[in-house]
Structure 1
Amino acid sequence: MKARYQYRFYPTNQQQKRLRSLFGCVRVVWNDALAFSKETDKYLGYNKLAGLLTQTKKTDERKWLSEVSSVPLQQSLKAIDSAYKNFFDSCKGKRKGKKVGYPKFKKRTNKQSATFVTSGFSIKNGSVYLAKIGNLTPIWSRALPSEPSSVTVIKDCADRYFLSFVIEIESVSTEAINQSIGIDLGIKTFAVMSDGTKAVSPSYKKLDRKVRSFQKKLARQQKNSKHRNKTRLKIAKTHNRIADTRKDFLHKLSTKVVSENQTIILEDLNVSGMVKNRKLSRAISLLGWREFRTFCEAKAEKYNRDFRVISRWEPTSQICNDCGYKWGKLDLSIRSVLCINCGIQQDRDENAAKNINKVGTGHRHDSKRTQRQSKTTLVASVVEASRITAASAQ
């Protein structure tokens, strides 16, 4: 399987100048190919675009494209070819997941990148040589397990530079401590496991308030001014702090969950629908539920684990995991339930995690009450409401 190993580096002033030229050329090649396709109302494909690029380099308007390596320019055409393919497959229904939009033009203020394949870079004595750029010395936080097939130079919106290597890695076989685990994701408590353990996400409120304050300031400043550019960098740096904090937490949690359990079971959440709730949208967006699922899925493949996702329509929060009694939908403010059938006090999130584990392992969460003739109600009935206890304020 393939994985990315990313390292930060600090280029010199001369290298920054060369990288700016490289990013500009890559961006122009992408935008020219996209503009030509829009004018002709037809995508020509990589081979014809590569031929046009060779002719374009001979003109006076684009002769400066020859000053950088041709490898990242060709990779830029391959990238737009993949973007068009994904767009066409999405329109035809051949591509799973959310629909992919039409390719967009690249901007100078957005994240910049340039990809080199093996013919355009080499690694010697701890330095990475890029064609027509020079030797770059990244901070090697960990060793590369094998020879990389490509490297991407990245400059993010906060003017940070990274080298991202694509590496072929082998799966790791380790013995799991537990057979299976169900995970219920939430807002106040990020994850509640079926074994009773809980994981609380770091607080992003303070940084998020900074972002909103800077954005208000940015809206009042004149476009293309130096002060506006400084505020834009402050917003980008604050966003990066949030993203880095969240990614560090999710990586550590997903690694712990996958390494200790043979089967990892999550619930398929309708995040795009949940963020339409204006009261919860910001909190949900900051947590990164989908990112956690992606990390678990990738690491499950690496550690030879079984990763499963149950249907979002399973009533995991409406059924007692001990007796299978269905008490119906509950308000979000109700965090604890006293089952009127078996008399056991159930924590809402822990009960849902146990039901997720049961459904994911092939068991019915209501197996003890399969003959019960009742339907799920919109809310708890008046009789049941008196026996439902809300969690105390924290």
Structure 2
Amino acid sequence: MKKFQQRPGFQLVAHKLALDPGAEGSRRLMSHTGAARAAYNWAVGWVTATWWQRGAEQSYGIGEDRLTPWRDFSLYALRKAFNEAKHTDPRFSSWWEENSKEAYNTGLANASAAFTNYAKSKSGKRKGRKMGIPRFKTLRRARRTCRFTTGVIRIEAGGRHITLPRLGTIRLHEHRPDLVALVEAGELRILSATVRLEHERWFVSLQVEQRLQAGPARRPDTAVGIDLGVRALAVYADSDGTTAEEPNPRHLDAALKQLRRTSRTVSRRQGPDRRTGQKASKRWEKANTARNKVHHRVANLRADTIHKLTTRLAAEYGTVVVEDLNVAGMLLNRRLARQIADAAFGEIRRQLTYKTAQRGSRLIVADRWYPSSKTCSGCGVAKAKLPLGVRVFACDHCGLVLDRDDNAALNLAALAARNTGTGSGRRPGPPPTRSRSLVEPTRRPAPPAPAARRGRGGQVAQPCRTSGRQKRETVLKPKPSSSGDETDLPGRNARNTESCCGSRQRNYPGRVRDKTQANSAAAGDRLIRAGAIVFFVGAVATLVTVAPFLLGTTPFPTFMFGLSMLMGVGFLVAGAGVLRSVAEGRRQARAATAAE
């Protein structure tokens, strides 16, 4: 078979058109898509039957040379076997002539691809998640689709109808005379057509070879960095420093109230049950259709928003920079999973990929670990940490303060200027060479005091800015690498700045000691509170019990001894807490004196 070769100046694109087939047209479309599913199930059963047979024969001790031979699952072998079986198999012999041969070829091609992916995945030749053995497609869960590659496929004159093999002429939902004009001018050639049932409607997707008329971007020398998010769908900044944002419409959140109402209606109806074989009632089918319409409307609104955004960006800028987001990992956050899925980050990147290619623009994908939000767009210094709740970026090195999304977009635009030379960029000078793993200073370093004294390990004593007392700061020395060069990465046992104010620092050896002291002081406070509560309860009970005796109305109660013991226990517990707190205070005083 001759391999398809794309003509110079043409591109492969797809046109998706809605159909209005009518009752008879819908019946024929359902028959063709059902034939594709039946052929797929036949191929799966035909191939896997030999697998189970060989397994049974091996369990009987039959030798390898006497086992049932393997069956080839290539498309050619499946076609040949199906053409021989369709005349005698009772599942196909009575009705296979009603449909086009392309319907059966669709199912066989899908089955061949499924077995090929499974074999390559099992042998390690296929990347991605492991593929399982192809399974049968059920009538309810299978996607109704059929692909036509041969025969008469054309859009009729006037652009109101389309003709497909064995299906005849079907009316289009929209008027498309522009496609007819392109075909007559020789700038469009239809290669295949795929009909599919989506959102309770029939669609046809035409794969065509077309000479695109889209011109270059309006600003070919300008780069734009796009930072995707939930608060705003996209915040983008160009290489000139201009920032803008695309608001997040949140279509799913707007439809949640209606979805809850329709879902409650569905749950009250008698639905299908695979365990018992129970079929869905007509009321359940009607309620489920109403619920699906809400989902379909949300999907259409989301697709319209994303298409308008990506088309505008691809038509405006010559270089587009996006981030390689780990969307699957982001969806593990149960608090933001629904908003992240509604934003469709992956779809935005997919559309930008082919739309920039159609206009001859560049699409740069920043590395997944590029710290766009933590890096200052003014001086290039990166923060060690920037929690997601901090929405304003404040640089401690140069004093720049701006929104964190605007800062990320400016960094992405500057990344395009450094990598491709497109645009002027906003950051002057050469790009920073420090790795993101380095802990950058959080404030401008102060000059060393003239009377600073040195401690052990090269530690220089400096006054603390908060309390005015002396603190120790570790001076990191270069660590020789295995290649003989020196690196500025800190060693494993290096310590960050230790503050005398008790601030929490990473890699501080005394951190465990401080934590133990804090736990001891907290234990003393708890003992004092517990003793006070026990003493108060005993005193109240004693007062209530002794009051009648003092008034002369009742004799001295015998259980006063128990209340006295309860008060004594309270005194002991409170005293233990006081002693422990006093001891901890003396220990801290001795430690402070030794540090001075």
TM-score over 0.5 for the pair: yes
Q: Structure 1 residue aligned with 2:232, among 162, 166, 189? A: 189
1:124 matches 2:160 = no
Distance across 2 between alignment mates of 1:255 and 1:79: 33
How far residue 68 of structure 1 moved from its aligned partner, in angstroms, is 0.8
Partner of 1:106: 137
How far residue 90 of structure 1 moved from its aligned partner, in angstroms, is 4.4
Say which SS state the counterpart of residue 147 (structure 1) adopts. strand
The 10-residue stretch of structure 1 (45-54 or 180-189) with the greater mean CA deviation from structure 2: 45-54
> Match for 2:75: what amino acid?
Y
Partner of 1:137: 171
Distance across 1 between alignment mates of 2:284 and 2:20: 25
1:79-116: CA deviation from partner (whole Å, max 9, x where unpaired): 33233334444455545556555544333334311111
Partner of 1:228: 284
**8 Å CA contact 2:250, 2:342 repeated in 1:** no
The 10-residue stretch of structure 1 (65-74 or 205-214) with the greater mean CA deviation from structure 2: 205-214
Partner of 2:248: 201
Distance across 1 between alignment mates of 2:225 and 2:436: 28
Partner of 2:575: none
Relative to 1, partners in 2 of residues 1:164 and 1:369: Cα closer, same or farther, differing over 3 Å?
closer
Q: Structure 2 residue aligned with 1:5, among 10, 15, 20? A: 15
Partner of 2:202: 161
**8 Å CA contact 2:35, 2:103 repeated in 1:** no
The 10-residue stretch of structure 1 (113-122 or 185-194) with the greater mean CA deviation from structure 2: 113-122
1:68 matches 2:113 = no
Relative to 1, partners in 2 of residues 1:52 and 1:370: Cα closer, same or farther, differing over 3 Å?
closer
1:232-258: CA deviation from partner (whole Å, max 9, x where unpaired): 222322221111111111111101111
The 10-residue stretch of structure 1 (206-215 or 69-78) with the greater mean CA deviation from structure 2: 206-215
> Match for 2:282: what amino acid?
K
Relative to 1, partners in 2 of residues 1:49 and 1:296: Cα closer, same or farther, differing over 3 Å?
same
**8 Å CA contact 2:323, 2:367 repeated in 1:** yes
How far residue 352 of structure 1 moved from its aligned partner, in angstroms, is 0.7
The 10-residue stretch of structure 1 (83-92 or 275-284) with the greater mean CA deviation from structure 2: 83-92
**8 Å CA contact 2:234, 2:247 repeated in 1:** yes
Q: Structure 1 residue aligned with 2:338, among 275, 282, 287? A: 282
Alignment size in residue pairs: 380
1:149 matches 2:191 = yes
The 10-residue stretch of structure 1 (278-287 or 204-213) with the greater mean CA deviation from structure 2: 204-213
How far residue 18 of structure 1 moved from its aligned partner, in angstroms, is 1.7
Partner of 1:328: 384
> Match for 1:132: what amino acid?
R
Q: So what's the TM-score if we normalise by structure 2?
A: 0.59
Distance across 1 between alignment mates of 2:395 and 2:35: 66
Alignment of 1:1-394 (within 5 A): 1-41=11-51, 44-59=73-88, 60-63=90-93, 64-95=95-126, 102-110=133-141, 111-125=143-157, 126=159, 127-142=161-176, 143-144=178-179, 145=182, 146-156=188-198, 158-171=199-212, 172-177=214-219, 178-195=221-238, 196-204=243-251, 205-222=253-270, 223=272, 224-362=280-418, 367=430, 370=433, 375-376=438-439
Distance across 2 between alignment mates of 1:96 and 1:362: 32
1:46-78: CA deviation from partner (whole Å, max 9, x where unpaired): 112112221232123312122111122113212
Distance across 1 between alignment mates of 2:100 and 2:431: 68
Distance across 2 between alignment mates of 1:92 and 1:170: 41
Relative to 1, partners in 2 of residues 1:302 and 1:345: Cα closer, same or farther, differing over 3 Å?
same
Say which SS state the counterpart of residue 247 (structure 1) adopts. helix
Q: So what's the TM-score if we normalise by structure 1?
A: 0.87
How far residue 266 of structure 1 moved from its aligned partner, in angstroms, is 0.5
Relative to 1, partners in 2 of residues 1:304 and 1:370: Cα closer, same or farther, differing over 3 Å?
closer
The 10-residue stretch of structure 1 (81-90 or 367-376) with the greater mean CA deviation from structure 2: 367-376
How far residue 335 of structure 1 moved from its aligned partner, in angstroms, is 1.0
Relative to 1, partners in 2 of residues 1:211 and 1:96: Cα closer, same or farther, differing over 3 Å?
farther
Distance across 2 between alignment mates of 1:153 and 1:141: 18
Distance across 1 between alignment mates of 2:247 and 2:108: 43
How far residue 276 of structure 1 moved from its aligned partner, in angstroms, is 0.7
Aligned-CA RMSD value: 2.8
Partner of 1:387: none
> Match for 2:27: what amino acid?
K
Distance across 1 between alignment mates of 2:115 and 2:12: 23
**8 Å CA contact 2:371, 2:436 repeated in 1:** no
For the pair shown, the structure with the greater C-alpha radius of gyration is 2
Say which SS state the counterpart of residue 149 (structure 1) adopts. strand
The 10-residue stretch of structure 1 (256-265 or 43-52) with the greater mean CA deviation from structure 2: 43-52
Relative to 1, partners in 2 of residues 1:267 and 1:372: Cα closer, same or farther, differing over 3 Å?
closer
**8 Å CA contact 2:232, 2:246 repeated in 1:** yes
Relative to 1, partners in 2 of residues 1:45 and 1:345: Cα closer, same or farther, differing over 3 Å?
same
**8 Å CA contact 1:183, 1:265 repeated in 2:** yes
> Match for 1:262: what amino acid?
G
Distance across 1 between alignment mates of 2:126 and 2:436: 41
Q: Percent same amino acid at aligned positions?
A: 29
How far residue 117 of structure 1 moved from its aligned partner, in angstroms, is 1.6
Q: Structure 2: 5+ residue runs without aligned partners? A: 1-10, 52-70, 183-187, 273-279, 420-424, 444-464, 467-596
> Match for 1:117: what amino acid?
T
How far residue 169 of structure 1 moved from its aligned partner, in angstroms, is 2.2
Relative to 1, partners in 2 of residues 1:298 and 1:372: Cα closer, same or farther, differing over 3 Å?
closer
Say which SS state the counterpart of residue 155 (structure 1) adopts. strand
1:192-213: CA deviation from partner (whole Å, max 9, x where unpaired): 1123110112222122443344
Q: Structure 1: 5+ residue runs without aligned partners? A: 384-394
How far residue 340 of structure 1 moved from its aligned partner, in angstroms, is 1.9
Distance across 2 between alignment mates of 1:36 and 1:210: 46
